[in-house]
Amino acid sequence: MDVNRVVTLDQFIVERQSHFPYGKGDLTRLLSDIAVAGKIVNREINQAGLVDILGEAGELNVQGESVKKLDLYANEQFIAAFKAGGEISGVVSEEDEFLTPLNTGLSKDGQYVITMDPLDGSSNIDVNVSVGTIFSIYRRVTKHGDVQLEDFLQKGTEQVAAGYLIYGSSTMLVYTTGRGVNGFTLDPTLGEFCLSHPEMKYPEDGTTYSINEGNYSHFPNGVKKYIKYCQERDPATNRPYGSRYIGSLVADFHRNMINGGIYIYPNTETNPNGKLRLLYECNPLAFIAEQAGGVATDGKNRIMEIEPTKIHMRVPYFAGSKNMIKVAHDFMEEFPEE
Rounded to the nearest whole angstrom, what is the least distance from the CB of residue 119 to ligand AHM in the complex? 7
Q: Environment class of residue 244 by beta-carbon count within 10 Å: exposed (0-12), middle (13-18) or buried (19+)?
A: middle
From 39-47, 78-86, 119-127, 328-336, give the range in contact with ligand AHM by CB under 6 A.
Answer: 119-127
Total residues belonging to the chain:
338
Interface pattern 51-80 for ligand AHM (x via CB under 6 A): --------------x---------------
Backbone angles phi, psi at 176, to 5 degrees: -135, 145
Rounded to an integer, what distance in angstroms lies between the CA atom of residue 28 and that of residue 199?
A: 18
* Per CB under 6 A, 320 contacts ligand AHM: no
The residues that touch Mg ion, with contacts defined as CB under 5 A, are 117, 120
Label residue 278 left, alpha or beta by phi (over 0 means left) and psi (-120 to 50 means alpha): alpha
Rounded to the nearest whole angstrom, what is the least distance from the CB of residue 215 to ligand AHM in the complex? 7
Q: Environment class of residue 217 by beta-carbon count within 10 Å: exposed (0-12), middle (13-18) or buried (19+)?
A: exposed
* Per CB under 6 A, 120 contacts ligand AHM: yes
Judged by beta carbon, residue 61 or residue 176, the one nearer ligand AHM is 61
Backbone angles phi, psi at 320, to 5 degrees: 170, -165
* Per CB under 6 A, 212 contacts ligand AHM: yes
| Residue 298 site contact among ligand AHM, Mg ion, none (CB < 5 to 8 Å, cut-off depends on kind) | none
β-bridge mates for residue 272, sequence order: 274
CB-based contact 49:70 (threshold 8 Å): no
β-bridge mates for residue 183, sequence order: 174, 197
**Which strand (E) or helix (H) includes residue 39?**
helix 26-51
From 4-12, 102-110, 245-253, 291-299, give the range in contact with ligand AHM by CB under 6 A.
Answer: 245-253
Rounded to the nearest whole angstrom, what is the least distance from the CB of residue 230 to Mg ion in the complex? 25
Neighbours of 154 (CB within 10 A): 20
Judged by beta carbon, residue 121 or residue 260, the one nearer ligand AHM is 121
From 172-180, 193-201, 247-255, 323-331, give the range in contact with ligand AHM by CB under 6 A.
Answer: 247-255
Judged by beta carbon, residue 124 or residue 182, the one nearer ligand AHM is 124
**Contact residues for ligand AHM, defined by CB under 6 A:** 65, 94, 117, 120-122, 212, 247-249, 275
